[in-house]
Amino acid sequence: MSVRPEDSAARLAAIVASSDDAIVSKDLNGVIMSWNAAAERMFGWTAAEAIGRSITMIIPADRLDEEEFVLSRIRLGFVVDHFETIRQRKDGSPVQISVTISPIHAPDGTVVGASKIARDITEQKRLREEAEEANRLKDEFLATLSHELRTPLNTIVGYAAMVRKGMMDQAQRDKAIEVIHRNALTLTDLVGELLDTSRMVTGKVRLEIQDMDLSMLAWEAVENIRPSIAAKGLRLETAIEPDLCILADRDRLRQIMWNLLTNAIKFTPAGGLIEIRVRAETPYAQIIVRDSGIGVSADALPHIFKRFWQAESGRMREYGGLGLGLALSRYLTELHGGTIQATSAGEGQGSEFRVTLPLRMKGVARAV
């Protein structure tokens, strides 16, 4: 059964009208001859407004030379395939597109115009850029991990070999064992961070919730960091309100405090100040850790709680670590129904981290 030309034309018109891609035709002078519904949605111009006007109405001024290139290829009968570029909508906003442009031939074979099929790839490009950034950060993290693991391992292997070969007297052996133990603890902490990060990603972190005194836990954390404070020559100020009761996992909350306090010590030069304040802001309790250290730039501040992130300036690497502590702290805080925020006036201006957790109100039962 033969298909009538008018039926084929109607079918083709229906396909063009219902397409999710913008389909536009133009003559060799760039004047628009057809403009489907998808083109109306993509660019904001109705067919009545677009037809008869130059295609340059959707081309940004700094990309007008692209049109000359395309038309030169079309006049030679070539197809411009999957060309990624930027066009502009009626309101002037940009839209990223992938466009395929094909020549339109007259019955005698001469090129009389061009048909364009354009697809909005704004979201596609965003996802691609995010994936590329994630891969870059992962590669950077793996390089950092390799360095952080190798340093204590080399120390342990070197000292262990010297002890084994009897190359030290008793005092040197005692010192070597102390160094080996300290570096082994560093490795244990690194592996613990990696395991916690893995559990975080897979959603396998479990909390053992119980009534606890936040104030007492804060004092324990302060006592644990006093040796590090003294060794680095820092000043410590505390303001811890008593009897602040919350429902929490003691070990995980201790981990949050440890991460924030050790970070403050790590990034604060000798002679600087570390502050820890724990107070009630009913119905919440707040843990505030403030330092006078290197601070965080405005550009870096939104990223510091991300996994695998390292400051673009490279200053984070000067101080060691995997850069996972803050990501874990945020995750654990949110598991407790709380929030964590970071503020800084800029580089060299110190930082403040504020953890907010629900208070356990006396006489009020809470389901866990």
Does residue 363 fall inside a structural domain? no
Of all residues in the chain, the percent with pLDDT exceeding 90 is 53
Does residue 231 fall inside a structural domain? yes
pLDDT, greater one: 190 or 93 = 93
153 and 247 share one domain: no
Q: What pLDDT does 135 receive? A: 84
- The residues that bridge with 269 in the sheet, in sequence order, are none
Q: Tell me the helix, strand and coil percentages in the chain, rounded to 5.
A: 45, 25, 30
Q: What pLDDT does 247 receive? A: 94
The whole-model pTM stands at 0.59
Quick one: average pLDDT of 167-176?
88
Q: Rounded to whole angstroms, how far apart are CA atoms 85 and 82?
A: 9
Tell me the three state secondary structure of residue 314: coil
Q: What pLDDT does 323 receive? A: 72
Does residue 340 fall inside a structural domain? yes
Does residue 226 fall inside a structural domain? yes
For residue 161, what are the CA distances in angstroms to 82, 93, 147, 177? 61, 66, 21, 11
210 pLDDT tier (thresholds 50, 70, 90): very high
253 pLDDT tier (thresholds 50, 70, 90): very high
Single residue among 120, 147, 181 that ends a domain in this structure: 120
Whichever domain contains 80, its CATH number is 3.30.450.20
Single residue among 151, 176, 201 that ends a domain in this structure: 201
Single residue among 150, 171, 201 that ends a domain in this structure: 201
Q: Give yes or no for residue 38 having a pLDDT over 90.
A: yes
Q: Which two tokens stand for residue 212?
A: 């606890």
Q: What pLDDT does 12 receive? A: 55
Does residue 367 fall inside a structural domain? no
Tell me the three state secondary structure of residue 320: coil
Q: Rounded to whole angstroms, how far apart are CA atoms 187 and 153?
A: 8
Rounded to a whole number, what is the distance in angstroms from the first to the last CA of the chain?
72
Q: What pLDDT does 319 receive? A: 60
- According to DSSP, residue 298 is labeled T
Q: Give yes or no for residue 364 having a pLDDT over 50.
A: no
Q: Rounded to whole angstroms, how far apart are CA atoms 25 and 46?
A: 14
2 pLDDT tier (thresholds 50, 70, 90): low
> Per mean pLDDT, which range of 30-39, 98-107, 134-143, 228-237 is the poorest?
134-143
86 and 178 share one domain: no
The four Cα atoms 278, 281, 286, 291 give a dihedral, to 10 degrees, of -70
Q: What pLDDT does 320 receive? A: 62
Does residue 257 fall inside a structural domain? yes
176 and 289 share one domain: no
Q: Rounded to whole angstroms, how far apart are CA atoms 156 and 169?
A: 18
pLDDT tens column, 119-131: 999 898 889 888 8
Q: Give yes or no for residue 81 having a pLDDT over 80.
A: yes
Contacts of 231 (CB under 8 A, 6+ apart): none
Question: Judging by beta carbons within 10 Å of its beta carbon (0-12, 13-18, 19+), is residue 227 exposed, middle or buried?
Answer: exposed
174 and 214 share one domain: no
Q: CA angle, corner 200, sides to 198 and 206, nearest 5? A: 115
Q: Which residue has the tokens 């505030």?
A: 288
Whichever domain contains 338, its CATH number is 3.30.565.10
pLDDT, greater one: 201 or 4 = 201
227 and 343 share one domain: yes
Q: Rounded to whole angstroms, how far apart are CA atoms 33 and 93?
A: 24
The answer to whether 26 touches 33, Cβ cutoff 8 Å, is yes
Q: Give yes or no for residue 57 having a pLDDT over 80.
A: yes
Contacts of 226 (CB under 8 A, 6+ apart): 236
354 and 216 share one domain: yes
325 pLDDT tier (thresholds 50, 70, 90): confident
Q: Give yes or no for residue 167 having a pLDDT over 90.
A: no
223 and 351 share one domain: yes
157 and 218 share one domain: no
Question: Judging by beta carbons within 10 Å of its beta carbon (0-12, 13-18, 19+), is residue 327 exposed, middle or buried?
Answer: buried
307 and 354 share one domain: yes
Q: Rounded to whole angstroms, how far apart are CA atoms 188 and 277?
A: 29
169 and 233 share one domain: no
pLDDT tens column, 261-312: 999 999 999 999 999 999 999 899 999 999 999 999 998 888 888 876 654 4
Q: What pLDDT does 190 receive? A: 81
Q: What pLDDT does 366 receive? A: 42
Crossing angle of helices 214-232 and 250-266, rounded to 10°: 30
Tell me the three state secondary structure of residue 176: helix
What is the radius of gyration, based on Cα positions, of the chain? 32
Whichever domain contains 173, its CATH number is 1.10.287.130
Q: Rounded to whole angstroms, how far apart are CA atoms 108 and 324?
A: 68
Does residue 365 fall inside a structural domain? no
- Number of folded domains in the chain? 3
Task: Tell me what the pLDDT averaged over the chain comes to.
Answer: 86
Please give the residue range of the domain that contains residue 179: 137-201
Does residue 218 fall inside a structural domain? yes
Q: Give yes or no for residue 76 having a pLDDT over 50.
A: yes
Q: Which two tokens stand for residue 117?
A: 């099929």
Of all residues in the chain, the percent with pLDDT exceeding 70 is 89
Q: What pLDDT does 220 receive? A: 93
Q: Which helix (H) or strand (E) holds 61?
A: none
- According to DSSP, residue 106 is labeled P
228 and 245 share one domain: yes
Q: Give yes or no for residue 100 having a pLDDT over 80.
A: yes
Q: What is the largest CA-CA distance in the chain?
A: 103
Q: Rounded to whole angstroms, how far apart are CA atoms 260 and 355?
A: 10
Q: Which two tokens stand for residue 64?
A: 């007008």
17 and 61 share one domain: yes
Q: Give yes or no for residue 349 having a pLDDT over 80.
A: yes
